[in-house]
Structure 1
Amino acid sequence: MRWPGRATRTREAPPGVSGTARIGRRGAGGADAAYLRRLGPGDVAVIDQVDLDRATATALLEAGVVGVVNAAPSISGRYPNLGPELLVHAGVTLVDDCGAAIFSDLADGTSVRLHDGAVHVGEREVVRGFAQDRDTVADLLEEARGGMAAQLEAFSANTSEFLARERSLLVDGVGVPAVATPMREKKVVVVAGSPGTAEEVRALKGFIREYSPVLIGVGEGADALRDAGHSPAIVLGTVAELDPVVARKARDVVVPADPDGFVTGLPRLQDLGVDPVAFPSSANPEDMALLLAHAHGAALVVAVGFDASLGGFLDRGRSGSIPSTFLTRLRLGPTLVDAPAVLALHHSRVSILTLVMLVLAVLATAVVAALALGAGPSLVLLLETGGRAVAQWATAVFRSVVG
């Protein structure tokens, strides 16, 4: 019962952002695909990743998280990584460099509140880190640009080590597994899972329809192909990355192995009805897929979801992947083309279907005109004359476009 004249108090919400904590693996060095799939709108991601990369940040944004708690520094200063900037510009609260205690002090599924660099459970402060915002991230990135020279020096040393370790693979293709899918003199599209992959796959729909290339899905790239309505002929990735449903439909399944051919988690994949072939190499899975296509004689390899810029190399989150990617691109040479270039060239072309439609439209106009003049010899003569003219015109246009 509300008494007359008595004011009603409204309890103010506590400051900060509230959500459900989702705990990643401690010391995992990053957010793996299985963890990212667990996240949903309103969650607070609790991770342990030094130098938060763009791919992880994009996945967190796509999941709809309202906050990120990082046990490690999201920008260490080694190089200007792009993940933290994406998060803070999207309005996601970033509590940084909390320390490993967050994994023992916080349980998965707990309701938490982030405010002023602290993580609260109810009224209790569980752990305190550093509250990142646009200004702090901008300052740290500016300082990190000074670390580029050291990273390039490390890149040079790592490249020499990788080349010594994988010389026979890069030069002679030793270790590349045999597959049932023929690729010799064919176009091959290799799709890696990364920000923008889904859009690139959708944009390549016309190219795929016209040329029917061999499709290779790498990790979540195979899922992107499936979601776009395509079935990859080959899927490649670690056991943890592969979707068994997609893998069972592929003609070939390839998994990375150590130099002795050992595949982590292989029995689990076989229990799910998938019998893969091993690819022993220290290269990253995306580069394995490129080398696989090249070794099997692909005429053209289109890379989808790859960032070959210097910033992209450094922002991959795996320093060992940089020499792998660099040397793989040198090995493929002119055989390798990135998807944006293919899209630019392919969209500027007049497709064969367009030519056919134009021919039919002109012939239809000729028929209508002939009927208007009256049936009989005039119709036949007009169709013959118009048909020859249209055929000559279409041939000239086709040769100018294709040749």
Structure 2
Amino acid sequence: MGMAILPQRVRIEQVRTAGLVRCDPKTKHLIPRLQHGEIAILAHEDLDEIAAKGLIETRVAAVVNTRCSMTGRYPNRGPLLLLQAGIPLLDLEEGEPDDGEPSLFEVVHDGDFMTIIDGSLYVRDRFVGQAQVLTKSEIGKRMAFAQTNSSTELHRFLDNTLQYASLEKDFFLGALPSLNLRTKIQGKHVLVVVRGRTYREDLQAIFHYIREQKPVLIGVDGGADALLQAGFRPDAIVGDMDSVTDSALTCGAELIVHAYTDGSAPGLKRVQRLGVKAHKYPAPGTSEDIAMLIAHELGAELIVAVGTHTNMVDFLEKGRKGMSSTLLTRMRVGPKLVDAKGVSQLYQTRVSWKALLVVVLATLIPVTMLASVNPVVRNILRILYWKMKLIFT
């Protein structure tokens, strides 16, 4: 990348965005470190909705993506959500990895002060890269293209699903690995929480169910943090342990590390560094599938799933090209699975005027009866009446 002094006149008169930089190629590792007003630099092709919401919550000043935020493969809503929240989104025009030019991550580091002027990136008054400023109009065009491309992408997705379902069916439909948990699941309801779309709203919608039924609570990676934020402590945490906080891992929940089929489990090292014991569960598929299978095999009466991934866009946003394990898991679990994803969108509570009238009348009746027999109350009401009359006349 070439270096050039930022002209003093431009720096003063045409600055669009400026702030301290926070960078990480993995968005899920970057978001917890971001502070209000910082500029996020990431490498996230087809920016997904969950990542966008996380960036919005941190109230970043701008997002610079070293990958294409929306390729048009499928209609990912992340870029549009950022723009609707008033956060500038820029796609960096980087060359190929072997063209000799350093990547932005090699030039810019945490804590650097970056200035963005109409797509030009400057650090310490030196030019470090040129980016495309994405607009709602541009995102709209890409979204329209993605809609026309969805049929082709769906064919690929289905082919991948069927191909891997054929390879993985022996595991998911055969005898599963044994697991001796201290958490008792037999005959109980189990709530499996994944940090997917609408998980916050859905947890709020079934809040009373959780309080009354007291199901066994299983958080899948970041789903454990979702439970803690909602005021519940997870009984167990299942996952790769790469997108869950240390505070969740040390909250007292039973940990089940999802391992590869060869037994290797990179997430186990992190758990061991925290000094916490964990079970290891080697299996293909996603961690949310494993959580459901464990609950099913240990005798759960009912499995309620929140925030799980159930459609093509969900899986493509997770970087998965098919859903074979999810298909096989749901076939095995069968009717005991209740999917609560999106339940919060089924209805919106509204207070009608009739209901308000009933409440008001129900309140006035005892007050009127009390006033009829108590002279003190009658005097107070008379004083209030005259005060109101004086105010409004």
Please state how far the C-alpha of 1:133 moved relative to its aligned partner: 0.7
Q: Helix, strand or coil: the match of 2:266? A: coil
Q: Does 1:56 align with 2:51?
A: yes
d(CA) in 2 for partners of 1:248, 1:153: 43
- Aligned letter for 1:128? Q
Aligned in 2, Cα 1:303/1:265: closer, same or farther, shift over 3 Å?
closer
Q: Compare 176-185 and 258-267 and name the one that shifted more.
A: 176-185
Cα distance change of structure 1 residues 312 and 176 upon mapping to structure 2, 3 Å threshold:
farther
Answering whether residue 109 of structure 2 is matched by residue 113 of structure 1, we say no
Structure 1: runs of 5 or more not aligned? 1-10, 349-364, 366-403
Structure 1, residues 314-350: CA drift from partner, whole Å, max 9, x if none?
Answer: 3x231246333343334333222222576699999xx
Q: Is the 8 A contact 2:67 2:91 kept in 1?
A: yes
User: Which residue in the other structure is 1:329 paired with?
Assistant: 330
Equivalent in the alignment of 1:85: 80
- Report the Cα offset of residue 195 of structure 1: 4.3
> What secondary structure does 1:129 align onto?
strand
Superposition TM-score, scaled by structure 1 size: 0.76
CA distance in 2, matches of 1:168, 1:250: 34
Q: Which residue in 2 is equivalent to 1:354?
A: none
- Determine the structure 2 residue equivalent to 1:134: 136
Equivalent in the alignment of 2:285: 283
TM-score w.r.t. length of structure 2: 0.77
Change (3 A) 1:326 1:66: farther
1:317 aligns with 2:318: yes
CA 1:346 to 1:317, structure 2 compared with 1: closer, same or farther past 3 Å? closer
> Do 1:70 and 1:98's aligned partners in 2 also have CA atoms closer than 8 Å?
no
Match of 2:17 in 1: 17
Task: Give the C-alpha shift of residue 180 in structure 1.
Answer: 2.4
Alignment partner, residue 390 of structure 2: none
Stretches (4+) displaced over 4 A: 340-348
- Structure 1 residues 88 and 220 mapped into 2: Cα distance closer, same or farther (>3 Å)? same
Q: How does 1:97-246 map to 2 (within 5 A)?
A: 97-99=92-94, 101-175=103-177, 177-246=179-248
Report if the CA contact (8 A) 1:200-1:304 is conserved: yes
- 2:52 is matched by which residue type in structure 1? A
**C-alpha offsets along residues 31-71 of structure 1, whole Å, 9 cap, x if unaligned?**
12x32100111111111111111111111111111211111
Q: How far apart are the structure 2 equivalents of 1:237 and 1:322?
A: 17
The answer to whether residue 35 in structure 2 is matched with residue 35 in structure 1 is: no
C-alpha distance in 2 between matches for 1:265 and 1:334: 32
Shift of 1:81: 1.1
How much identity, in percent, do the aligned residues show? Answer: 33
Gaps of 5+ in 2: 1-10, 98-102, 350-365, 367-393
Secondary structure class of the residue paired with 1:166: helix
Q: How many residues align?
A: 337
The 1:127–1:12 alpha-carbon spacing in structure 2 relative to 1, beyond 3 Å, is closer
Supply the RMSD in Å over aligned alpha carbons.
Answer: 3.0
Which one has more relative contact order, counting CA pairs under 8 Å at least 6 apart?
2
